[in-house]
Structure 1
Amino acid sequence: MAHDTSSDSENEIIGARAKLFGHEKPIHEVLGGGKVADMLLWRDRYVSGALLGGMTVIWFLFEIVEYNFVALLCHISITTMLVLFIWSTVADIFKWKGPQIPNIVLQESFFHDLASILHKRFNQLLPMLLHISCGIDLPIFLLNIVSLYILSVIGSYFSFVNLLYIGFLCMQTLPIVYERYEEEINNWVSDIIIVIRKNYRRFNKNYLNKIPRGPVKAKKTQ
């Protein structure tokens, strides 16, 4: 009885279910597992909400009001100095406690965690890009090329500030959405990859394998 290789390949494709960040890694660990991960996953709603509100205000001022960066920085400094001056004057009159700089304006560990995550992800991205660019997995290579082209077309319709803001919104929404609907998203991604691999193997069988190739010359041994 002949062995059906096409059936085996189909079963191999279907059996390879994708998981975006590895089978054992939760999204919190992928994001570094520190204060940055807590912020992106909205573990501290006040900090995450304040950051989102601040970025929204900055986007509104630059994109909608069309503020110049230097002018905006000067106006913020002037407003801050006026508020502190009024606060200090009123405090002297009513014998209140004057304005003081908090001991920790922004925790140093936050920037350490953020830099560590960026460094780690960058080191992981370079070997991944090299692996994809070598064409070892042609469907994934083609999918990345098409995705980058679509992103470049979309990016041509947005300003740099809009792209930064959209990227920030994705950072604050996609991780928590993935954490809540991890199984559904993994199944959806797996279905897409399975369809791509099936179509590629069909294309390879029907067209690429039928392209005539010259005989392979054996290497001369000295």
Structure 2
Amino acid sequence: MSRYYSSSSSPIKRLLGQDRPLHALFGGGKVADIILWRDKRVSASILAGVSIIWTLFEVLEYNFLSLLCHISITAMLLVFIWSNGAALLGQPPPKIPELILSEKAFTRVALTFRAKLTQFLSLLHYVACGKDLKWFLLTVLSLWILSVIGSWCSTISLLFFVLVCGLTIPALYERYEEEVDYLASRGSQDLKEFFKRVDSRVLERIPRGPAKRKSN
């Protein structure tokens, strides 16, 4: 028996309220592997790339056009050296456009993007129609909160914060799932007991006027 059980021997409720593994909740595909660091090299590369981009634009205040030009110049110099070096060594020149933008890879990315965009627009249309009032109000409230947060910080900083949280919190939760569920369950129980004490010691002692009798 796990040590993360309450005194009443009842199992601790999971924080996400799901019996499925966390990997399945994220779709169980390549994206889930990256978020949960199953593919550590890709996950670390994405996190490092995002951190470098944020540092360039927010910390060093690099201009996007200048950065694009410098990257293009560096790429052209590398291709120039590679092409001429390959000719001197009798090797075929590099075919970079075919390697980067192959028809098969481009078609797969386009179809995936189209499917995700269609799914997102269908969900947005369903919520906007007001068929589920709860989701409609939650969506409006979430967008309003997001707009307020966006007025406090730049878009790049907000995206950086979201991506870093997305690449760290789920992986840490999966690793320490029992500990987090136990602490969350204990915190929820302590909060309920606190409100009960407040209700019994404070709210119930507030004097109330006599109830008015209903006239016949």
Q: Shorter-chain TM-score: what band?
A: 0.5 to 0.7
Q: Partner amino acid for 2:43?
A: S
Cα 1:113–1:129, aligned 2, differ >3 Å: closer, same or farther? farther
Q: CA deviation at 1:84?
A: 1.6
Tell me, yes or no, if the aligned pair for 1:21 and 1:27 is still in contact at 8 Å. Answer: no
Where does residue 30 of structure 2 map in the other structure?
Answer: 35
Cα 1:202–1:91, aligned 2, differ >3 Å: closer, same or farther? same
Q: Partner amino acid for 2:76?
A: M
CA distance in 1, matches of 2:133, 2:176: 27
Give the one of 63, 68, 78 matched to 2:63: 68
Q: CA deviation at 1:181?
A: 0.9
Please give the per-residue CA displacement for 1:164-210, whole angstroms capped at 9, x wherever unaligned: 32322221111111111111100111122222222233334432795
Cα 1:106–1:91, aligned 2, differ >3 Å: closer, same or farther? farther
Q: How many residues align?
A: 184
CA distance in 2, matches of 1:48, 1:106: 24
Give the one of 170, 173, 178 matched to 1:178: 173
Where does residue 5 of structure 1 map in the other structure?
Answer: none
Q: TM-score, normalised on structure 1?
A: 0.63
CA distance in 1, matches of 2:42, 2:86: 29
Tell me, yes or no, if the aligned pair for 1:36 and 1:114 is still in contact at 8 Å. Answer: no
SS in 1 for 2:184: helix
Residue 18 in structure 1 maps to residue 19 in structure 2: no
SS in 2 for 1:165: helix
Cα 1:61–1:184, aligned 2, differ >3 Å: closer, same or farther? same
Where does residue 134 of structure 2 map in the other structure?
Answer: 130
Where does residue 3 of structure 2 map in the other structure?
Answer: none
Cα 1:111–1:50, aligned 2, differ >3 Å: closer, same or farther? farther
Tell me, yes or no, if the aligned pair for 1:178 and 1:185 is still in contact at 8 Å. Answer: yes
Structure 1 gap ranges (5+): 1-10, 135-147, 218-222
Tell me, yes or no, if the aligned pair for 1:27 and 1:179 is still in contact at 8 Å. Answer: yes
What is the RMSD of the two structures over their aligned residues, measured on CA atoms?
4.4
Tell me, yes or no, if the aligned pair for 1:40 and 1:48 is still in contact at 8 Å. Answer: yes
Tell me, yes or no, if the aligned pair for 2:12 and 2:185 is still in contact at 8 Å. Answer: yes
Where does residue 141 of structure 2 map in the other structure?
Answer: none
Where does residue 78 of structure 1 map in the other structure?
Answer: 73
Q: TM-score, normalised on structure 2?
A: 0.64
Where does residue 203 of structure 2 map in the other structure?
Answer: 207
Tell me, yes or no, if the aligned pair for 1:41 and 1:176 is still in contact at 8 Å. Answer: yes
SS in 2 for 1:66: coil
CA distance in 2, matches of 1:210, 1:95: 94
Within 5 Å, give how 1:70-219 maps onto structure 2. 70-101=65-96, 102=99, 103=102, 104=105, 108=109, 115=116, 119=120, 130=134, 156=152, 159-205=154-200, 206-207=202-203, 210=206
Tell me, yes or no, if the aligned pair for 1:36 and 1:113 is still in contact at 8 Å. Answer: no
Structure 2 gap ranges (5+): 1-6, 139-144
